[in-house]
Amino acid sequence: MPEVPRSRRSCLAVPGSNPRFLEKAKSLDADQVFLDLEDAVAPIAKPDARKNIVAALNEGGWGEKIRVVRVNDWTTEWTYRDVIEVVEGAGANLDCIMLPKVQTAEQVVTLDTLLTQIEKVNGLEVGRIGIEAQIENALGLVNVDAIATASPRVETIIFGPADFMASINMKSLVVGEQPPGYDVGDAYHYILMRILMAARAYDKQAIDGPYLQIKDLEGYHRVAGRSAALGFDGKWVLHPDQVAAANEVFSPAQSDYDHAENILDAYEHYTSAAGGALGAVMLGDEMIDEASRKMALVVSAKGRSAGMQRTDVWQAPSD
Ligand code: GLV
Ligand code: MG
């Protein structure tokens, strides 16, 4: 797992059965692509989709994007071949395997074991390929802590709202929107928070799933804004138009980024011997202390990994 978490504001879904979409995805500004072998690919198209994905990964042209392949879940008959074909064929050009519908820690351990064997036999660095665990049903959510800690390869915990809604019998077909009849808050709040707590407790990234009304960008902003406000790191995008929206919603505002960097600089100065070895200090009209520094670190890390630049730099007083 990389030491500095990689930016995953926008995670673009690309069906592995469509070579044109695979090519197009290379030119989009998403932080991550995931090339799908699961629900976006019909059962009879899966063998060819594996080949398309291997070819697309080996051709290159993905820039700095995180390259992920979503395999089928372990309750199907496809998973082992998905993993073996993709990792043997393109393991060096792949960052993570996404495992959907994870229900138990053992399912993650099984994938870890298979990856390790393939890496050893093919001369790949053991443990480099990460795992992204999609939580898509009640059992997966109940076991989310064990899933997050089942392997050091786990990098992200992802909410899969469509399958999740089906699994709990939620009375709605519109992913991301509130079920009619529930008028006392956000019906997804518990699920999002539960995933976020596991992610934060075990140092993983928390990723929100798809918003299917691809023409409704305002709706995308609204729903993405909720998970971003809670602390999620990014969200799926299903269409090129959603990419810029996700990058914007999951980046700090420029003024917040500048403010965070200034808090860090001011705090470092004032807590040093040269700055008076103070604990709680004033930055403009605001009192900052160690807790402010921790909050600023979060915003600063998100801004830095999104490549933001400072536009307003705090200067230590000259005497
Ligand atoms: C994604 O896989 C979902 O089920 O929402
Ligand atoms: Mg799903």
Instruction: Quote the ligand 1 centre to 101 CA distance (angstroms).
Output: 9
| Pocket flag, ligand 1, residue 136 (CB < 6 Å) | yes
Q: Is the CB of 162 under 6 A from ligand 1?
A: yes
Ligand 1 nearest-atom number relative to CA 136:
4
Give CATH for domain 10-249: 3.20.20.60
Band the pLDDT of 172: cuts 50, 70, 90: confident
How far, in Å, is the centroid of ligand 1 from the Cα of 304? Answer: 29
- Examine the pLDDT at 5 and tell me if it is beyond 90: no
For residue range 102-155, list pLDDT tens digits in order: 999 999 999 999 999 999 999 999 999 999 999 999 999 999 999 999 999 999
Question: If you average pLDDT over residues 172-183, what whole number do you get?
Answer: 88
Contact status, residue 235 vs residue 249, Cβ threshold 8 Å: yes
Cα–Cα distance measured from residue 133 to residue 155, given in angstroms and rounded to the nearest whole number = 8
Instruction: Name the residue ranges covered by the structural domains of the chain.
Output: 10-249, 254-305
Would the pTM of this model clear 0.85, i.e. be above it? yes
Q: Which of 210, 206, 233 is nearest to 220 (CA)?
A: 210
Residue-wise pLDDT for 17-75, tens only, equals 999 999 999 999 999 999 999 999 999 999 999 999 999 999 999 999 999 999 999 99
Confidence band of 267 (pLDDT split at 50, 70, 90): very high
Tell me the pLDDT band of 3, cut-offs 50, 70 and 90.
low
62: tokens are 């993905």
- Range scoring the smallest mean pLDDT among 23-27, 93-97, 246-250, 274-278: 274-278
Between the CA of 305 and the centroid of ligand 2 the distance, in Å, is 28
| Better-predicted residue by pLDDT, 136 or 171 | 136
